[in-house]
Amino acid sequence: MVDRITDIWGERTPHPRGTVWPARVDLHLEEGVAEGDVERWVQSACLLCSNGCGADIAVKDGRMVGVRGRAGDTVSHGRLGPKGLYGSTPWASSPDRLTRPLIRKDGELVETDWDTAMGRIVEVSKRLLDEKGPLSHGFYTSGQLFLEEYYTLAVIGKAGLGTPHMDGNTRLCTATSAAAFKESFGADGQPGSYTDIEHCDAIFLYGHNMPETQTVLWTRILDRTRGENPPRIACVDPRRTAVAEEAIRTGGVHLAPRVGTNLALMNGLVRELFVHDWVNHAWVSEHTIGVDELRETVDPYTPEHVADICGVAADDLRAAAQVFGESSGVLSTVLQGFYQSHQATAASVAVHNLHLLRGMIGRPGAGVLQMNGQPTAQNNRECGADGDLPGFRNWDNPEHVQQLADAWNVDAMTVPHWAPPTHAMQIMSYAETGSIGFLWISATNPAVSMPESARIRRILAGDQCFTVVQDLFLTETAQLADVVLPAAGWGEKTGCFTNVNRVVHLSEQAVQPPGEARSDLDIFLMYADSMGFTDRDGAPVVKWRTAEEAFDAWAIVTAGRPVDYTGLSYEKLRGPSGIPWPANAEHPDGTDRLYTDGVFPTDTDYCETYGHDLITGGAVSEQEHRAMAPGGRAFLKGAPYTPAHETPGDDYPLLFTTGRTVYQFHTRTKTGRARSLNQAAPDAWVELSPTDAAELGINEGDWVRVESPRGAIEVRARIGRVTPGAVFAPFHYGHWDPDDLTDAEHRSANELTMTVWDPVSKQPTFKTAACRVTRLRAGEGPAPAPTNTASAPAPGTPTRAPATGGGAATSSHVLDETPHYALDPSQEI
């Protein structure tokens, strides 16, 4: 029996380089249920982070009562992490689920039936279409719907209504990953594979606290760093995370740059490759363009200059570059520390530059993983519910637009392609003025998760915009809506989703949704039916009724595109493992890694974008792109470092940065309702360095006020492991609380963050704001922050904080024989 709150990653199964990762099956059932009591196991995958670990759902008496890892799954080899084990099912039977539609009457939300609720939505929608046309409509989705739902909504928006105003909260978590791929390689698509972990001899984690965000992936890395010929780890993070500790342990490097200076650091690393000639010249000249400009751009970033800007020792920078330059296989992973920080796209593209210069891409052990935050973020990008065109098509290429118009049998003029898709922050800004008068929000909670959340709440609560919210619970956002629709969640509906590693999983319906809740797919179909969207022949634009039909329709539009699903079907996905796209006649079992031939989707007629100016976001034109004749070569793109938009000064002397903890996911809609997880991280906190705390007279557990020019929070202080000058707050906590905390009104980290975004990816910059901290009063004890994660107390500070633990029992057993994984290079004969 293992408590996976205490033991986050579970038992080690170390193994040598180049060998297959052993399988270990993790299982958790709710209290009082034994394995023999389970009536059915239903195939799925975990929906609590982008890793997408294969899982079976345990069903008893029509309820989901637990989960078990799928040993044959290529992603997880049977493992599950604490979030997946404890957080997957309890929310579903929570008494506060939404079970009936709600409608606003005289200022109050009251229960109603579906016909009345949908009738109201359709009435407003039709009126606005008549008065102002489709640009009055906006849709804001999630990273947690299924592929079939995104695609259906994309067709409604692009072929039915014709609005460019569609985006997902994926804008907040993963937009930079997509943007960086497009700038370097011409199209979205994860180049690397998790199997690179078994074959590399160095792993670089950039702004990626993997041990807490994707615990099972970190388990996979630990099984290598604790095995024979371990890889060296390099960590770029302003906090001393478990990654940083593993970097030190493996003889690698921990670089802790000042918040907001990532690009300077990256330019320094790229420069070192040039200086020491760690460059594969033949490969670079055959497979890339732009090397001379890049060399010139990074030239000023000497180690000493970088040290000045970033506060990182020049020799540490040299050491990190040397690890990169001299290893035979490097795997890089990137996440929010880069994506949600200043110059996000340019810094993430710089990771590609390092790999391209060494030709470190497309073979086992040499790869890039630009990570995602949420479990289905990838599908939002693929299907175009984020405003892009489905199938990684280029909205600026008339031929691509025509392909979709033909597939949907509508006039190409209907498909919004005349301007770049409207990103989330712009949608909110249009909703603020009433220019968007109809906003539909699905499965996301922007009242807590968007920057400057007080402003967002004002926009949603105002009369200038009619708001529909579709969710599992009456979230902070739903409370502000005009109509609330009860949605079915994971396990209560069928659909597919794709993890960060391109692996597509089928998640089958295990139980009935509560009350009158309906799947998001059914809700979208109901809207499409009621609106009567038709194609050129008067037939319905949305031509499917079930998830499986939606999947098949989606597969057809991916033909010939990088994201090729034509070889996939529900039947095929019912096998032992998820399958990574592209999957087609040529690759019936899918594809482990992209670009094995060094040919990239940059051809002008094929690419997803012509590219952008990394500093301004200005779009490269088709003619300019054609003149560069990329023809399958990757772009080496550089940009100079510029200081962050808000830097500390006299009034706000510290740097505020936000992030997450292993025990909570997003705004805690699911994890907050799982006892084991919630009690491990029950309330918000803020982390200060011992130096800053001493200067401000703050002790562990004291209540403090953290204030930026936009707002303030009042939470307890952890004297922790941030670098001096930085203040870290988890963003999960809004005013909803499972235990009805009375002080939950002032703890939402996004009260402080700025409305500012990256010029290319349009991802908001959550990680750089200036703030000041003042002590309010003594606390009742230590801060409510976990002690066994990056939020642990600073070494040597006496905190009396009890060790985090108390998780319910789980089981875990290592299989004697490792299953065969179809594409695993370690098992190829």
Partner 1 sequence: MPHLATYVALVDHSERTLAESLRAVADGHARQADVFHTCHTLAGWSERHREDLAPVVERYGEQDDVDEPERLRADALTSTREGEIGLLRDLQDLHLLATLVHSTWTVIAQGAQGLRDRQLLEIATSSTAETTRQLTWLTTRIKQAAPQALIVAP
Which residues lie below 8 Å from residue 316, measured CB to CB, with a gap of 6+?
A: 253, 254, 255
Which residue has its beta carbon closest to ligand SF4? 84
Please identify, using beta-carbon distances, which residue of 271 and 660 lies nearer to ligand SF4. Answer: 660
Least distance in Å: CB of 591 to ligand SF4?
A: 21
Which residues lie below 8 Å from residue 463, measured CB to CB, with a gap of 6+?
A: none
Q: Which does 136 bind (CB under 5 to 8 A by kind): partner 1, ligand SF4, none?
A: partner 1
C-alpha span between 432 and 459 (Å, rounded): 5
- Our finding on whether 46 is near ligand SF4 (CB under 6 A) is yes
Q: Which does 49 bind (CB under 5 to 8 A by kind): ligand SF4, partner 1, none?
A: ligand SF4
Structure tokens at 549: 């039909």
User: Distance from CA of residue 758 to its chain's centroid?
Assistant: 16
Binding residues (CB under 8 A) for partner 1: these are 132-133, 135-136, 164, 418-420, 422, 425-426, 429-430, 433-436, 613, 615-620, 642, 645, 754-757, 759
Please identify, using beta-carbon distances, which residue of 432 and 552 lies nearer to partner 1. Answer: 432
Please identify, using beta-carbon distances, which residue of 49 and 222 lies nearer to ligand SF4. Answer: 49
- Our finding on whether 214 is near ligand SF4 (CB under 6 A) is yes
Q: Which does 214 bind (CB under 5 to 8 A by kind): ligand SF4, partner 1, none?
A: ligand SF4
C-alpha span between 781 and 186 (Å, rounded): 53
Which residues lie below 8 Å from residue 695, measured CB to CB, with a gap of 6+?
A: none
Helix ranges (H only) for 420-573 are 424-433, 446-449, 453-461, 520-531, 547-557, 570-573
For ligand SF4, which stretch binds (CB under 6 A), given 49-57, 144-152, 236-244, 765-773?
49-57
Q: Which does 120 bind (CB under 5 to 8 A by kind): ligand SF4, partner 1, none?
A: none
Which residues lie below 8 Å from residue 1, measured CB to CB, with a gap of 6+?
A: 809, 810, 811
Q: Which does 384 bind (CB under 5 to 8 A by kind): ligand SF4, partner 1, none?
A: none
Tell me the three state secondary structure of residue 592.
Answer: coil
Do the bridges between strand 809-814 and strand 2-3 make them parallel or antiparallel, or are there none, so unpaired? antiparallel
CB of 86 closer than 8 Å to CB of 678: no
Q: Which does 80 bind (CB under 5 to 8 A by kind): partner 1, ligand SF4, none?
A: ligand SF4
C-alpha span between 357 and 354 (Å, rounded): 5
The position carrying tokens 């009042």 is: 714
Q: What x/- string results for residues 158 through 197 when contact with ligand SF4 is judged by CB under 6 A?
A: ----------------------------------------
Please identify, using beta-carbon distances, which residue of 142 and 768 lies nearer to partner 1. Answer: 768
Q: Which does 53 bind (CB under 5 to 8 A by kind): ligand SF4, partner 1, none?
A: ligand SF4
Structure tokens at 672: 């907050």
Please identify, using beta-carbon distances, which residue of 49 and 307 lies nearer to ligand SF4. Answer: 49
Say how many residues touch ligand SF4, by CB under 6 A: 13
Say how many C-beta atoms besides its own lie within 10 A of residue 132's C-beta. Answer: 15
Least distance in Å: CB of 136 to partner 1?
A: 5
Please identify, using beta-carbon distances, which residue of 168 and 451 lies nearer to partner 1. Answer: 451
Q: For the segment 50-89, give every residue that binds ligand SF4 (CB under 6 A).
A: 51-53, 80-81, 83-84
CA distances for 725 relative to 405, 730, 744, 796, angstroms:
53, 17, 26, 19
Please identify, using beta-carbon distances, which residue of 254 and 417 lies nearer to partner 1. Answer: 417
Please identify, using beta-carbon distances, which residue of 139 and 151 lies nearer to partner 1. Answer: 139
Cα dihedral 67, 72, 73, 76 in deg (nearest 10): 70
Q: Which does 195 bind (CB under 5 to 8 A by kind): partner 1, ligand SF4, none?
A: none
Partners of residue 503 on adjacent β-strands = 580
- Our finding on whether 49 is near ligand SF4 (CB under 6 A) is yes
Task: Kindly list the residues in this chain that would bind ligand SF4 in the complex (CB under 6 A).
Answer: 46, 48-49, 51-53, 80-81, 83-84, 214-216
